[in-house]
Amino acid sequence: MNNNSDFDYEDINSKKEETLDLNSFSSSATQKTIKNRRRKSKYNKQRILKLILTLFLVGIIVVSIIVSAFVVYAFTSVDGSMTENLDELKLNFTTTIYTKNKNDDEFTEYQRLHGEYNRIWVYYDPQLAKSTDESYEGIPQNLVNAFVAIEDKRFYSHFGVDWKRTVAAFANMFLHFYSSNQGGSTITQQLVKNLTNDNEQRASRKIREIMRARYLENHYAKDTIIECYLNTIAMGHGLYGVGVASNYYFDKDVKDLTIAECATLAAITKSPSYYAPDDEPEHNKLRKETVLREMLSQKLIKKTEYEDALKEEVKIVASKENLNESDVNSYAVDALIRQVTKDIAEKYNYDEAHAASLFYNGGYKIYATIDPDIQSKVENVFNDSAKYAIKGKDGKLLQGSFTIMDYNGHVLGMAGGIGQKTVNLGMSGFNRATDAIRQPGSTMKPIAAYAPSIENNLINYSSIVNDKAENYGTWKPVNWYKSYWGNITVQYALERSVNTIPVYLVNKLSPQVSFDFLTQKLGITTLTKEDINLSPLGMGGTNGGLTTFESAAAYAIFGNGGLYYEPKLYYKVCDQHDNVILDGNKEPNIALSEDTATVMNRLLQGVVYGGNGTGKAAASAVSNMRIYAKTGTSNDSRDLWFVGGTPYYVASCWCGYDEQQDISQSTIALKMWSSVMSEVHKGLEVKSFETSEYALPYYYCTQTGELATDSCPSKALGWYRKSNVPHACKTHTGTAIGRPEISSDNSTVKEVQQEQPQTQAQE
């Protein structure tokens, strides 16, 4: 036991204390470690927060720099101006032809013509659109509301760019908030795209679009912007704008659209092929209902209107017939296109191709002189190829042309061939009414010989002239009847279409005077210098010739007091903003004095009503009104003419073969003229030709041509200029017969047919 006395209890205790001290130290170290870790974690969090905050601030700075750079770039480097003037917008628009309504003399739409873009301009007046004014024919307010509701509900509050939509659309590209891509373009931006066709897939294009949209907003009222937008949007089937779309889909003018129809149109624009109401009715219906809901939620319509619109069954017509288009134009429309195009080119110094492009794409409003009823009656006759297209010796069919106009130069109807028209002529096609330059035969005699001779007092109504064989150098005119009558009156010479007398008169006038009268007074452009000669001017055997278009205008002077009007197919042409660009109402030229015109009118009536008149067969065409006229036959009966007028209209008809040959039916032109004019005059009030107070009727002696006495064996009624009245008959002396009284309808109380040798009337 004592051996164990060396065990040191104090040492043990000290070790215990040391162990306790170690445990205490270990516990303290752990606590320090935990505290250190906490401090480090907190420090790390602070560092992360600082980093995030730093990154956020850097991001803001970067974005600010980018935005600032964008703003600087946009405002300094991007041209945001627009050359287009919204007040006088010049785009590709459909040209519309209007014709007069006979009942009220107002113009109504007749036909539309367009190039690549089929677009009709309709205007928007917000005051009238919201009113109940029935005269308003523009865009209705409900249509504006429908487009604003679905396309740009903040249209009236933003300044061209809806930044909320733009940012949302941009963010959706990355974060996909919405199931589909969201359009950020405002109505103003869409208008910019419609006007500029700037579809470049680059950021710079979007910047230009934004800047241009702001430019438009700074320069134009919202109402102007929405009007232009609604007239330029694509509406499917090659249609542009709500005007033509309304016509096509509903057969309505835009002013008459219901709320449901307005929503139907607004539904199309998101994707015209996918939402077209005729091709995709279900897609359009769903989209239309969305439009209506938006209109209701934006308080643009009342709930009752919304419910009624949902119930309404929208009738989709979708027919090109509603657009007043024609696959084949009439000859009159073809001539109108050509005349307007040439007049535009001439007035504005354009080449013909550019003028033609303007015609089809300029959105012109052409107020045409064409009378649809008369044009239809002309076509009914000339389309009857079974009756009138006579085969020639070579088997080719007879052709013909016809022009009818009023006495103010307005062309009312036209035919450029016999048989159904099957193609459009364009600028280079052949329209026989305006392009077939043919020998006029005896229709030349009144305008080249008789009229200027009476005007110059070389002859009067009953002057005695000698029908005899006479040489003019090496040439001698021969009558169609192969003989000579000797002394005859001027009246009889014209009635019988004697050849020698007009040649004698042209020689007396001089060919140059006669030619100048035709070209300078009567506007004839189709003669040549070789026609300044006796045969072409006296007998109509021309080197150039006439067209029915120009001959009708020339003959009009005998029915309107001597005034020559350049033949026109339009009253005026306006652009889509109603500015007149062409005025067809030209002042007339005084071709003849009104007394000469009256004398010639009565002389030419003898061709129809005289006992031996070559145009007797036309007398029944208009049985209750008088006709003046002249027949014409060229050499070897290769061209047949009948030109004449009634108190209402003057018309020229030509028949012949394109490759000249004899015509077997010598009266075919007269028959076709009569067929048209008889139909045209049905139902018209009886009317008489006006006479000049300076032209007086007298009875004359048919043997001497002097004023008749009671001793003259034969007398007839004639008309004379006051300045050129013959003296009393010296051969048959007696009491002068008094001047007959004129009835209220300008016809004489009594007309005595002159007594002359009788032969069969032909030419």
| One domain, residues 173 and 318 | yes
Domain that holds residue 716: 692-763
Given a contact cutoff of 8 angstroms between Cβ atoms, the answer to whether 603 and 630 are in contact is no
Residue 181: C-alpha distances to residues 176, 184, 275 (Å): 8, 9, 17
- At residue 754, does pLDDT exceed 90? no
Q: What is the mean pLDDT of the chain?
A: 87
Q: pLDDT digits over 97-137, tens only? A: 999 998 888 999 999 998 777 888 898 999 999 887 888 98
Non-local CB neighbours of 657 within 8 Å, separated by 6+ positions: 392, 396, 398, 399, 638, 663
Q: Please report the pLDDT score of residue 174 as a whole number.
A: 46
533 part of a folded domain? yes
| One domain, residues 142 and 56 | no
| One domain, residues 130 and 67 | no
pLDDT level of residue 163 (50, 70, 90 thresholds) = low
User: What gap in Å lies between CA 149 and CA 180, rounded to an integer?
Assistant: 19
| One domain, residues 46 and 181 | no
| One domain, residues 189 and 43 | no
Q: Which helix (H) or strand (E) holds 283?
A: helix 281-297
Given a contact cutoff of 8 angstroms between Cβ atoms, the answer to whether 350 and 344 are in contact is yes
Using the 3D structure, point to which of 305, 323, 341 is the last residue of a domain: 323
pLDDT level of residue 34 (50, 70, 90 thresholds) = low
- At residue 72, does pLDDT exceed 60? no
Q: Which residue has the higher pLDDT, 154 or 40?
A: 154
Read off the pLDDT of each residue in 78-97 and give the average, rounded to a whole number: 76
| One domain, residues 299 and 151 | yes
Count structural domains, the chain: 4
Using the 3D structure, point to which of 283, 298, 323 is the last residue of a domain: 323
Q: Please report the pLDDT score of residue 196 as a whole number.
A: 79
392 part of a folded domain? no
Q: Please report the pLDDT score of residue 719 as a whole number.
A: 97
CATH of the domain at 189: 1.10.3810.10
| One domain, residues 142 and 227 | yes
Read off the pLDDT of each residue in 615-638 and give the average, rounded to a whole number: 93
| Pairing status of strand 570-574 against strand 365-368 | antiparallel
Within 89-159, strands assigned E span 95-100, 107-113, 118-119
Q: pLDDT digits over 189-226, tens only? A: 899 888 876 655 555 667 778 888 888 999 899 999 99
Using the 3D structure, point to which of 499, 516, 545 is the last residue of a domain: 545
CATH of the domain at 525: 3.40.710.10
| One domain, residues 189 and 69 | no
Q: Please report the pLDDT score of residue 212 as a whole number.
A: 85
| One domain, residues 283 and 160 | yes
Read off the pLDDT of each residue in 621-626 and give the average, rounded to a whole number: 93
Q: pLDDT digits over 529-583, tens only? A: 999 999 999 999 999 999 999 999 999 999 999 999 999 999 999 988 889 999 9
Q: Which residue has the higher pLDDT, 547 or 29?
A: 547
Q: Please report the pLDDT score of residue 587 as a whole number.
A: 94
354 part of a folded domain? no
Burial 21-56 (b: 16+ CB within 10 A, else e): eeeeeeeeeeeeeeeeeeeeeeeeeeeeeeeeeeee
Given a contact cutoff of 8 angstroms between Cβ atoms, the answer to whether 642 and 613 are in contact is no
Non-local CB neighbours of 757 within 8 Å, separated by 6+ positions: 485
Least confident of 390-399, 501-510, 697-706: 390-399
576 part of a folded domain? no
569 part of a folded domain? no
User: What gap in Å lies between CA 322 and CA 171, rounded to an integer?
Assistant: 45
| One domain, residues 538 and 448 | yes
| One domain, residues 154 and 20 | no
Q: pLDDT digits over 450-467, tens only? A: 999 999 999 999 999 999
For the chain, percent of residues with pLDDT exceeding 90:
65
Q: HSE on the CB side for 746, CA within 13 Å?
A: 16
Least confident of 31-45, 208-222, 667-681: 31-45
pTM above 0.85, yes or no: no
User: What gap in Å lies between CA 538 and CA 503, rounded to an integer?
Assistant: 4
Q: Please report the pLDDT score of residue 23 as a whole number.
A: 54
Least confident of 103-112, 262-271, 430-439: 103-112
592 part of a folded domain? no
| One domain, residues 180 and 260 | yes
419 part of a folded domain? no
Question: Which tokens belong to 95?
Answer: 């040209």
